Amino acid sequence: MSEKIKIKFFKAISRLLLKTVFGPPFSYGFQRRWFEWMAAAAQLPKNMSIQSINMGDVKAEKISSLKSSNRVQAPQAQTVILYLHGGAYCICSPKTHRSLTTNLAKKSQLTVFAPDYALAPEHPFPAGINDCLLAYEWLLQFGYTSQNIIIAGDSAGGGLVMATMQRIKQKSLPAPAGLVLISPWMDMTLNNMEKVSDKIDPLLRWSNIKAGVESYLQGQDPKMPLASANFADLTGFPPMLIQVGSEEILLNDAKIIHQRAQDYKLDVTLTEYQNAWHVFQLQAGILNMADNAIAEVNQFILKNTPARIVTKEVESRA
């Protein structure tokens, strides 16, 4: 099957089986079960280890390749990825994102830690942020060095990446080596809701995004920097990679945070994948476009983490 046909197929599946269920009138309980059921059908790469662990008080999945050299290295010599899943702050889990995290772990040959952070509306702002910060602190306490930690996330998880980084600054913790934002949700004011039709997006609806804001913030100010990174002070942020699809309603969020990062003189890259939709990277292993995006993330990690650079040099000499 050609790449073009695969893209049309996944867009159609997303519109039919995901977009129609993602948001009102369906309950969050139903949405959570539906997305986990759909994710169970995903074809995951072989020779991968998926372990349930506790990162302090936060449950998580630890994903790694069975062939990874990291499995015999001390923590301080390893590069790791802290991955924060999306889901409008209200649904999804490490399980729903395994097609992305396993392919990321396989391509990079790194361990991926995916915390199962608290979801709204049961646990509103800032509960999820607190859990993600605890997961980062656990990595530091376990022996991983900040310069070898990448924090990555998609959609609402991208928002949590930026919020976690702000909390890291507030607590004067050592900063991670880099941040990866995949189809990031950066503005909870929904400034573009009246400007951009959600018909363009095969997955997201504005009604779902609006419900996410109401359930997560529960009346608090959407302009809070911890809620909307497009209003945050980005001073001292590490290098950033932003990936976004050309056919998603959060495209402008990605463009604005990229421009703001440039205004702060940060090392930032924005890649807009044409004909792509919200978090198309979930189709890694099937779509070349998704594989290329994962490869770009790996190159970003190689560029910005000392342990990976040294490992690459040693391998090239062997």
Contact between 133 and 167 under an 8 Å Cβ cutoff? The reply is yes
Catalytic residue among 64, 99, 108, 248: 248
Strands 178-182 and 240-245: parallel
To the query of whether residue 155 is one of the catalytic residues in this protein, the response is: yes
Task: Tell me the two tokens of residue 196.
Answer: 């951009």
Phi, psi of 179 (to 5 degrees): -125, 135
| Secondary-structure percent of the chain, ordered helix, strand, coil, rounded to 5 | 45, 15, 40
To the query of whether residue 248 is one of the catalytic residues in this protein, the response is: yes
Catalytic residue among 155, 183, 215, 228: 155
Q: Distance (Å, rounded) from C-alpha 5 to C-alpha 12?
A: 11
Helical residues (DSSP H) of 14-121, grouped into ranges: 28-39, 98-108
3-state secondary structure 106-147: HHHCCEEEEECCCCCCCCCCCHHHHHHHHHHHHHHHHCCCHH
Say how many CA atoms lie within 13 Å of 146 toward its Cβ. Answer: 13
For residue 126, cis peptide bond before it (omega within 30 degrees of 0): yes
Q: Can you give the length of the chain in residues?
A: 318
Q: Distance (Å, rounded) from C-alpha 34 to C-alpha 207?
A: 18
Enumerate the active-site residues. Answer: 155, 248
